[in-house]
Amino acid sequence: MIKPKPLQKGSNIAVLAPSAGLSCVFPHIYQMGIKNLTEMGFNILEYPTTKMSAKDVFENPKARAEDINRAFADDNVHGIISLIGGEDSARILKYLDPEIIQANPKLFMGYSDFTAVSVFLNQLGLVTFNGPSVMAGFAQLHNLSDEYRAYVKAFLHGELVDTILPTFVHFYDGYPDWSDVSTAGQLNPIQKNVGPRFFVGNLADTDKVSGQLFGGCIEVLEMLKGTQFWPAADFWQGKVLFLETSQEKPSLDYVKYWLRNYGVMGVFEQLSGLLVGRARDYNADEKAQLDEVILSVVRDEFECHSLPIVTNLDFGHTDPQVILPLGCDLQIDVKAKQIKLLGSAFNS
């Protein structure tokens, strides 16, 4: 896999909209994200889609792709961060230029609907990053812990090597109503994080498994199945798959159906591990039921008893969220109950 160079103080970051164009709908949230990125020492380059109305962004998938192509082609751009998620970034994939993107690897980060773009880049052989976006993540950064802010900065600067995936003490389910300007950058009430849940399985010879990381928002991945952008059948061998649900809070039945589809495709039997992010807006009972659904499908229906499964991890549609580099190697230590990113996500 091709790794990008890390960012540094003074790096130029392109901000653009692969998905929804909400910067003009909630400009106070957008500006808060820009402010926080600037205070981290980055120079922000606002691309045309950040100035377009939500309607124009939706109606012009080609313009969204052209922003991405230009950002990759520009040697003065050192990294790219998605404005926010949405629901239709799959529409832009046919307009992306593989040659330009492959020839100019650089950090590209987002989550949620950004998953479609992440998968596209991953299939080109580029490491890409599932992490906070400008409006959902960076806009709230000053209200998250000092520990988390230090983690994000260290990650983006390429300072984390062979690093254990952090677990933060508290988490937040979403944000107050963005139409209320007075709540810009705030988060919903703080909650205690009970931490990840390890379901070890029947590992015969080892306490540790490792594999290359791949995944994203489970609903968005469903949009790619059966398309030219979906990985080949043998792609999954040895991978560590990560999945997370969106703010739409899909029902447990739908999650079961989607997981069952992976089983039918023969994915689970090829994996080294399965990671599941903390489910947004699920209460404690629903999270326990989600675990039961996952175990029922993977273990009972498809008899993958040796596959390590870890749930309730700090990634996805809640804050704070760790940054997951698709295409990098990750190790699950089932005895120590730790997850480690192996090596660096960057080519320094």
Q: Is the pLDDT of residue 279 over 80?
A: yes
DSSP string, 158-206: T---SEEPP--SEEE---S-TT-GGGTT--SPEEE----EEE----SS-
Q: How confident is the model at residue 200 (pLDDT cuts 50, 70, 90)?
A: confident
Only one residue has tokens 């499908």, namely 297
Task: Answer for the pair 49, 71: CB distance below 8 angstroms, yes or no.
Answer: no
Residue type, 261: N
Q: How confident is the model at residue 298 (pLDDT cuts 50, 70, 90)?
A: very high
pLDDT 10s digits, 126-184: 999 999 999 999 999 999 999 999 999 999 999 999 999 999 999 999 999 999 999 99
Q: Pick from 113, 49, 117, 105: which is nearest to 78 by CA?
A: 105
Instruction: Please state the rounded mean pLDDT for residues 182-209.
Output: 88
230 C-beta neighbours (distance < 10 Å), count = 15
User: What integer pLDDT is reported at residue 204 of this predicted model?
Assistant: 58
Sign of the Cα pseudo-torsion (45, 48, 49, 51, in order): positive
User: What integer pLDDT is reported at residue 125 of this predicted model?
Assistant: 98
Q: What superfamily would CATH give domain 170-341?
A: LD-carboxypeptidase A C-terminal domain-like (3.50.30.60)
DSSP state of 216: E
C-alpha 143/C-alpha 323 separation (Å) is 18
> Whole-number mean pLDDT of the chain?
96
Instruction: Please state the rounded mean pLDDT for residues 330-348.
Output: 94
Query: What are the backbone dihedrals phi and psi of residue 271, each rounded to the nearest 5 degrees, phi first?
Result: -75, 155
Only one residue has tokens 């230090």, namely 150
pLDDT 10s digits, 89-125: 999 999 999 999 999 999 999 999 999 999 999 999 9
User: What integer pLDDT is reported at residue 348 of this predicted model?
Assistant: 77
Instruction: Please state the rounded mean pLDDT for residues 250-263.
Output: 96
Instruction: Please state the rounded mean pLDDT for residues 40-49.
Output: 98
C-alpha 234/C-alpha 288 separation (Å) is 32
C-alpha 306/C-alpha 317 separation (Å) is 28
Q: What superfamily would CATH give domain 12-161?
A: Murein tetrapeptidase LD-carboxypeptidase, N-terminal domain (3.40.50.10740)
Q: How confident is the model at residue 205 (pLDDT cuts 50, 70, 90)?
A: low
Q: Is the pLDDT of residue 31 over 80?
A: yes
C-alpha 144/C-alpha 163 separation (Å) is 21
DSSP state of 16: E
Ranges of each domain in the chain: 12-161, 170-341
- Give me the percent of the chain exceeding a pLDDT of 90: 96
Distances (CA, A) of 40 to 6, 10, 107, 157, 266: 14, 9, 16, 11, 43
